[in-house]
Amino acid sequence: MILISACLCGVDCRYSGDSKSNEKIYSLLMDGNVQLVCPEQLGGLPTPRHPAEICQGTSEDVIKGSGKVLNNQGEDVTKHFIKGAEETLKIAKTLGCNKAILKSRSPSCGCGNVYSGNFDGTLVEGNGVTAQLLMENGIEVLTEEDI
Ligand code: SF4
């Protein structure tokens, strides 16, 4: 069983209220043994919503309680990102998932690079909060760009 970011398979769960469908990932869904997840919705955020970035510290810091995720209105949405990561991990453990393919660059799902926290489109090395928590629990995380 593989966890996949729902927005990669046509679910309109992105902050902007649309999806980011990816043909290759969608064909994996059709092959079966896939669980779709949207950590930000699982964390209780509405759709559409204001875009958010990790603005203080890294995703490791967010999980440890010292980092912050803010939206572009300056509102602190950290607790939603942590809740979404925890719920996603719960689903992964329940289903015995050992691999996840998550949306690149997202503050929840990104792996390897995420937006800098300045809301200017620049990237920094790092992971989204959910991707980080999954990796800390032994789950392999890839992005659609690795497939
Ligand atoms: S990148 Fe992750 S959190 Fe964002 S919409 Fe897609 S599945 Fe949801």
Task: Give residue 68's pLDDT.
Answer: 98
CA-nearest of 73, 4, 85 to 41 is 85
Strands 123-125 vs 113-115: parallel, antiparallel or unpaired: antiparallel
**Mean pLDDT computed over 101-126:** 98
Task: Give residue 115's pLDDT.
Answer: 98
CA-nearest of 8, 12, 11, 14 to 27 is 8
Average pLDDT, the chain: 97
**Mean pLDDT computed over 26-51:** 97
Overall pTM > 0.85: yes
Residue of minimum CA distance from atom 6 in ligand 1: 7
* 44-64 confidence digits (pLDDT tens): 999 999 999 999 999 999 999
Instruction: From the CA of 13, give the closest atom in ligand 1.
Output: 5
